[in-house]
Each structure stands twice: as structure tokens, then as C-alpha cells.
Structure 1
Amino acid sequence: MSTAGPGQNKTRGTGFRTRSERRKRAELRKSRSGIEALLTVSAGQTQELETTVETLSVLTRTNTGLQYKKMKLENPPTLASELTSLPVTSWRRFARDLHDGRIERICIPSDVERMKCEAEELKQLVAEGVDALSANSKKERFDEQSWDSLKSSPFYEVLREYRDVLPDDIPAELPQDMGVQHEIDLVPGTKYCVTRQWPLPREQVKAIDDFFESRRKAGQVRESKSPHSAPTFFVKKAQGGRRYREKM
């Protein structure tokens, strides 16, 4: 048995028509507002809708290596405020989108002129040889460790106070006695450490003895009074590194 009244179906149908009419009216209002906006712009504000296109050289990774490709961007951000106001995504979502293939390209804004200058300098160093590149790298690292480069450090004053600990030039004499003597108290009956390293060739032993004898005559080393001590130094390896050594 139906409980619908005589005019219920008609009212329900009328309701559907009313919603569709509302939707049409909303779309009509949007289209009218869009037309009015276009008319307003055409009256003298066309510059606001002008599209700027910038062509960039993008370094992309392909199967054959790195290649530069041209990319056109419409209305790219040009100010620092525009770049910093771009939407930010979390690194988790970025990694997920990159893994899923949603991200096709990654662009890193950089200074083109600076990159060109650095590339030219690198080419010149490579052309001069590996030795020149290594020498320039060492010079840059040395300059970064100068006193002038440390002026911006909050520890600059403390470092200057103890600048005699690591002088720029190796002194030809022993450091000044600071009045602090380090002693090691051994338990009575303790034997000296007599563990020796593997035996060295005779020519190496002679070279080591001559080295420390020359340092002793120059006043840079003195006889240790510690119960156990050994001269410690580093020997240059063929690969360019250093090997820790003790003269037992």
C-alpha cells in the first residue's frame, strides 16, 4: 500500500527541476561575471592578462648522460618574495610522488652567470692538470682557515687568545713551559710496556733515527721522562694518505 499523496510525485519532480535551474542560474551568473571582467579588461586593463614566457636551459639526466634542454615557463616567479611564497610540500610526500612518477622534472633555480664562470674555471683547471687542481683546492682550504676568515666566528676571540698553540709557522724551538706537568701514576709493581710493532727495514729505522736526531739538535724535541712514551709521527703513503707510526 502506497502512502504517497496525490501530488507527491509531482512535487518531487518539481524539486529536481528546481535544483537544475539553480545550477544553470549559477553557471549563467559565472559566465556573465566572466564576460563583464573581459569587457573591463578590454577597456584599458589588458596589461594585467599579458602572459610572459621565459625560456630556460634545464640540465636533465638521460640514458646517455646529462643534457641541456629548453623549457618554456609561463609567468615564472621573478622576485624572491614570489619564490619563497610558493607552496611547500613535505619531503615524505615529495619522495612518494617522485617514486610514483607524479614528478617529471626537478628544477633548481641558480645564477646562470655564476655557473658559467665556475664551469670555465673548472675547465681551465682540468686542462692544466690534476696537480694544478689539487694545488688550487689546497690553497682554497688554506685560505678558509686563515684568521681573516674566522673573524665572523663567535669563537674568534678565544682562538686568538690561544693562537700560540697552533702557530702559522713551525717554531725552531720548544714551546714555552706553561707550568703544567702531566704525570702518570703507576700501580707499584707495574711493568713497562715492551710491546713492539712489526720490525722495520734497517734503512727505515736509520731514517727515523736521523729525523729525530735532527729535531733534537734543532731543539724541537726533548727526551721524555714518562715511564712509557714513544715518538709519534705519520708516514706518507703511496696513495697520498698518512700512516700512524710510533718509534718504539
Structure 2
Amino acid sequence: ELIREAYTEDNDLAGLVEALSAPNKAVELTARQRSRLHRYSVAEGLLYYQVDGGDEDLRHRVLYEAHDTPLSGHLGREKTYTSVARNFWWPHMYKWVRKYVHTRETCPRVKLAPSASAPLMSLPMPADCWRSVSIDFIFELPADARRHTGILVFVCRLSKMVGLAAVRKSVTAPQAAQLFVDNVFRHHGLPEAFVSDRDPRFVSHFCQHLFRLLGTRLDMSPADHPQTDGQTERVNQVLEDIRRSVCATEPTKWSTLLPQVEFALNNAVHSSTGFTPFY
């Protein structure tokens, strides 16, 4: 009886009770109440929230889509859990995710063990997205049908959004500049600085050719840092893990799945920001 009386003091629940108790009566509800109404029922004046019964097969299908497909990227336990939790809930869901990720055969077999490395210099964080961009390469991949053996990696240092492009071992600064225009500039514009641990001459030539492509006389020098803040190194490690996982059976097909891998990276919640780069 105390619960029934308490409904009258809660405008949100009182509206739900009234609408469900008299379905033929026109009850004014908020948009939030209307979106939740189908999940509730009333019995003897008490409001019940309906939870779908445990469907183990459905849960496995949800986890498969959130972890095993190229669009999900075979990411780890925490990122998989945050991805599932955006749209689903069931009791002990975190334990389900942890067990599911742990039992995937491909992931532990292909992912490299973390190695110790010296701490890298911390760089000041830019104020806006795509104001400062990290550039790096991953090489020595299995050659694809177009003889690509590497990936050019662009990372926004604030949002952590990633842009990827397949390249050959002999990639030049002008080619890298064209790939930046095609994959990053067309969507996000020109940054204020580039950061890279590549040969400074390469980055300088990259900037020169970039401005030549854009038809501007502006000049930009690479950021005066001998090393990056470790951001692209971490992205490269995750990227390599994803590539090994999604291409475990056909390692030379990695370049055809690069758009899906890029989406998986940008759709995952980043630990340093608490948001997805898409946000």
C-alpha cells in the first residue's frame, strides 16, 4: 500500500500508472514516458517493469556482433562491454562479456603481448579536434593484391579519431600528402601542426607537398618534438591486433577490410576521453 501511495508523489511514475490503468483514457505523457510505456504493466495498482527472459542464443548473437565482426574489431573486454551497454542490458552482462572475449580462439592467438617501453614526452593537448595530427606508418604487412605492405595512420590528438590508408613500402611524401587530402582534409580541414617521429625531412617534404596540393602559399613547420606522445604507437598496436584478428584466415585481404577497421577504432570508447572519437 505504501508503494501505491508513493506513486502519487512521483509525476513520472504516476503518469505511467494512469495511462496503463485506463488505456482508453487520453493521458498526457512526455516523450520519455511514451517511449518507455511498452515496457511496463500494472497489476493490482502496482507498476511492473517487464524484463525479457534470458535468451542465451540472443545474447551470444549480440556479443558476436559487438566483438567478432570486422566492424567491431575484435576489441578487448572493456571496449566490447561499453559497446554492448549502449543498447542492451541483462543481468551479469559484464561477466558474460568477459567470458565471451576470453573464450574467443582467434584473439589471444594473434594479439601480441604488451612490451615495456620508455616513457615518451608528454605534448600539450590541442584545444580543438584536428588542430594537431599525428602521422605514422605500419609496415611489413602481407602484400595485398596491389602490393600494399603498409598502413599510413593519421590520428587527431584530441578526439583520438583515426584515418587509415593502405600504402606501399616505397610511399613518398607527395603520395602521403595526397592521401591526407583524400582521407582527412576533405572532412576536417587543415591542422595547425603535424607530429611524427618519422625523419623530419620526410615530414617537412610532406607539408611542402600538402600546401602545393591545396594551392596555398602558407608555410607550416612540423611540431618541434623529437618524438610523439606515444598516441600513434598505441593506435598502431591496437590496429595490428585488429588486423591479425579480422584477417586471421586471409592475411593478404587486410586492405579490403581497412574501412571496417577504421570504423571499429573510431566507434570504440577511448580510455583517455571516455567517449568514442565519433562523439
TM-score range, shorter chain: under 0.3
Max Rg structure: 1
Using structure 2 for the length normalisation, give the TM-score: 0.23
TM-score calculated relative to the size of structure 1: 0.25
